[in-house]
Chain A
Amino acid sequence: METEKIVYALHTFERKVLPVLKEIKSFEKIAEKTGLQKVEVMRALQWLENKKLARIDKQLKEAVALDENGIEYKKKGLPEVRFLKSIKQGPTSLKTIQEGLHLSKQEISICLGILKSKAAIEIRKVGEELVVAKTEFGEQLSNKPFPEEIFLQKNFPAYTSELKDLDKLAFENLKKRNKIIKLSIAKIINAELTDLGRKTIEHGIDEKNVIDRLTPEIIKSKAWKNKKIRSYDVKINVPSIYGGKIHFVSQAIRYIKRIWLDMGFKEMTGNIAQTSFWDLDALFVPQDHPARDMQDTFYIKAGKGNLPKELVKKIKSSHENGWTTGSKGWQYKGSEEAAKENLLRTHTTVLSAQTIAKLKKNELPAKFFSVGKVFRNETLSWKSLFEFIQVEGIVVDPDANFMHLKGYLKEFFAKMGFPDVRIRPAHFPYTEPSAEVDVWHPLKKQWVELGGSGIFRPEVVKPLLGFDCTVLAWGLGMERTIMEYYNISDVRDVYKNDLKQLKEMKIWMR
Chain B
Amino acid sequence: MPTININRQAFEKFVGKKLAADKLKDRISMLGTDLESVSDDEIIVEIFPNRPDMLSVQGFARAFSSFIGAKTGLAQYKVESSREKVIIDNSVENVRPYTSCAIVKNLHFDDEKIKEVIDIQEKLHITYGRNRRKVAIGIYPFEKIKMPIRFMAKKPGEIKFHPLESDKEMNAYEILEKHPAGKAYGHLLNGLEKFPIFIDANDEILSMPPIINSHKTGKINHDTKEIFIECSGFDFNVLNKCLNMIVTALSDIGGKIYSMELMYGKNKQTTPNLEAEEMKVNIPYINRLLGLNLNETEIKKLFERMGYGYKNKNVLIPSYRADILHQADLAEDIAIAYGYENFMALIPNVATIAEEDKFEIFKNKISDLLTGLGFMEMSTYALSNKEAQCKKMNAEIPLIELANSISSDYDVLRAWTLPSLMEILSNNKHHEYPQKIFAIGKAFKKNEAFDTNIEENENLAVAISSENVDYTRIRQILDYMFMSLGLKYEIIEAEHGSFIEGRAARAMLKGKKIAYLGEINPETLTQWSLEMPVAAFELNLSRLFEAME
Say if the beta carbon of B347 comes within 8 Å of chain A: yes
* Residue of B332, B343, B345 touching A432 (CB-CB under 8 A): B332
| Chain B residues closer than 8 Å to A502, beta-carbon distance | 376
Is there contact, CB below 8 Å, between A402 and B456?
Answer: no
Flag the segment in B29-37, B79-87, B106-114, B480-488 that touches A.
Answer: B29-37
Given A244-B376, A427-B32, 14 more contacts at CB 8 Å? A246-B367, A322-B325, A377-B404, A377-B405, A399-B350, A401-B290, A402-B289, A402-B343, A406-B346, A425-B335, A432-B329, A455-B328, A498-B431, A499-B428
Is there contact, CB below 8 Å, between B326 and A322?
Answer: yes
Is there contact, CB below 8 Å, between A267 and B360?
Answer: yes
Assuming the contacts A244-B375, A497-B378, A499-B437, asked whether A366 and B352 have C-beta atoms less than 8 A apart, the reply is yes
| Chain A residues closer than 8 Å to B446, beta-carbon distance | 302
Assuming the contacts A326-B326, A327-B326, A459-B326, asked whether A400 and B348 have C-beta atoms less than 8 A apart, the reply is yes
Bound CA span A298–B376, Å:
31
Q: Can you pick out 20 interface pairs between chain A and chain B where the beta carbons lie within 8 Å of each other?
A: A244-B371, A246-B367, A257-B360, A264-B352, A267-B355, A272-B444, A298-B403, A300-B402, A301-B403, A342-B454, A379-B406, A386-B383, A400-B348, A424-B341, A425-B31, A434-B332, A497-B379, A497-B428, A498-B428, A503-B376
Say if the beta carbon of B401 comes within 8 Å of chain A: yes
Is there contact, CB below 8 Å, between B406 and A378?
Answer: yes
Q: From residue 303 to 347 of chain B, which have CB atoms closer than 8 A to chain A?
A: 325-329, 331-332, 335-336, 340-341, 343-347
Say if the beta carbon of B71 comes within 8 Å of chain A: no
Say if the beta carbon of A224 comes within 8 Å of chain B: no
* Residue of A247, A269, A300 touching B360 (CB-CB under 8 A): A269
6 closest A-B pairs by beta carbon, nearest first, are A425-B32, A401-B291, A244-B371, A427-B48, A433-B332, A327-B326
Bound CA span A21–B377, Å:
51
| Chain B residues closer than 8 Å to A328, beta-carbon distance | 325-326
Say if the beta carbon of B503 comes within 8 Å of chain A: no
Say if the beta carbon of B528 comes within 8 Å of chain A: no
Bound CA span A367–B453, Å:
30
| Chain A residues closer than 8 Å to B331, beta-carbon distance | 432-433
Is there contact, CB below 8 Å, between B350 and A365?
Answer: yes
| Chain A residues closer than 8 Å to B432, beta-carbon distance | 499-500
B339 → A minimal CB distance (Å): 10
Bound CA span A243–B371, Å:
7
Produce 1/0 per residue, B98-109, CB < 8 A to A: 000000000000
Produce 1/0 per residue, B345-389, CB < 8 A to A: 111101111111101100010011011111111111111000000
* Residue of B235, B343, B379 touching A249 (CB-CB under 8 A): B379
Say if the beta carbon of B21 comes within 8 Å of chain A: no
| Chain B residues closer than 8 Å to A379, beta-carbon distance | 406-407
* Residue of A290, A329, A494 touching B325 (CB-CB under 8 A): A329
Say if the beta carbon of A190 comes within 8 Å of chain B: no
Is there contact, CB below 8 Å, between A244 and B374?
Answer: yes
B contacts with A, residue count (CB < 8 A): 91
Bound CA span A367–B347, Å:
13
Is there contact, CB below 8 Å, between A254 and B381?
Answer: no
- Shortest Cβ distance from B133 into A: residue: A288
| Chain B residues closer than 8 Å to A365, beta-carbon distance | 350, 352
- Shortest Cβ distance from A262 into B: residue: B354
Say if the beta carbon of A245 comes within 8 Å of chain B: yes
* Residue of B134, B378, B435, B452 touching A288 (CB-CB under 8 A): B134
Bound CA span A289–B50, Å:
11
Bound CA span A380–B384, Å:
13
Interface residues on A, range: 35 or more
Is there contact, CB below 8 Å, between B400 and A425?
Answer: no
A90 → B minimal CB distance (Å): 74
* Residue of B291, B376, B402 touching A301 (CB-CB under 8 A): B402
Assuming the contacts A274-B452, A325-B326, asked whether A407 and B348 have C-beta atoms less than 8 A apart, the reply is yes
Total residue contacts A-B, CB cutoff 8 A: 265
- Shortest Cβ distance from A456 into B: residue: B328
Q: Which residues of B contact A (CB under 8 A)?
A: 29-32, 48-51, 127, 130, 133-134, 235, 237-238, 288-291, 325-329, 331-332, 335-336, 340-341, 343-348, 350-357, 359-360, 364, 367-368, 370-383, 400-407, 409-410, 413, 424, 427-428, 431-432, 435-437, 442, 444, 446, 450-454, 456
| Chain B residues closer than 8 Å to A322, beta-carbon distance | 325-326
Q: From residue 387 to 403 of chain A, which have CB atoms closer than 8 A to chain B?
A: 387, 397, 399-403
Is there contact, CB below 8 Å, between A299 and B325?
Answer: no
| Chain A residues closer than 8 Å to B353, beta-carbon distance | 264, 266
| Chain A residues closer than 8 Å to B343, beta-carbon distance | 402-403, 406, 423
B257 → A minimal CB distance (Å): 25
Is there contact, CB below 8 Å, between A299 and B403?
Answer: yes
Say if the beta carbon of A306 comes within 8 Å of chain B: yes
| Chain B residues closer than 8 Å to A403, beta-carbon distance | 290-291, 343-346
Is there contact, CB below 8 Å, between B367 and A250?
Answer: yes
Bound CA span A294–B404, Å:
7
- Shortest Cβ distance from A406 into B: residue: B345
| Chain B residues closer than 8 Å to A331, beta-carbon distance | 235, 237-238
B545 → A minimal CB distance (Å): 12
| Chain B residues closer than 8 Å to A307, beta-carbon distance | 451
* Residue of B326, B355, B437, B452 touching A302 (CB-CB under 8 A): B452
Is there contact, CB below 8 Å, between B328 and A499?
Answer: no
Is there contact, CB below 8 Å, between A458 and B424?
Answer: no
| Chain A residues closer than 8 Å to B381, beta-carbon distance | 386-387, 495
Bound CA span A499–B30, Å:
45
| Chain A residues closer than 8 Å to B406, beta-carbon distance | 295, 377-379
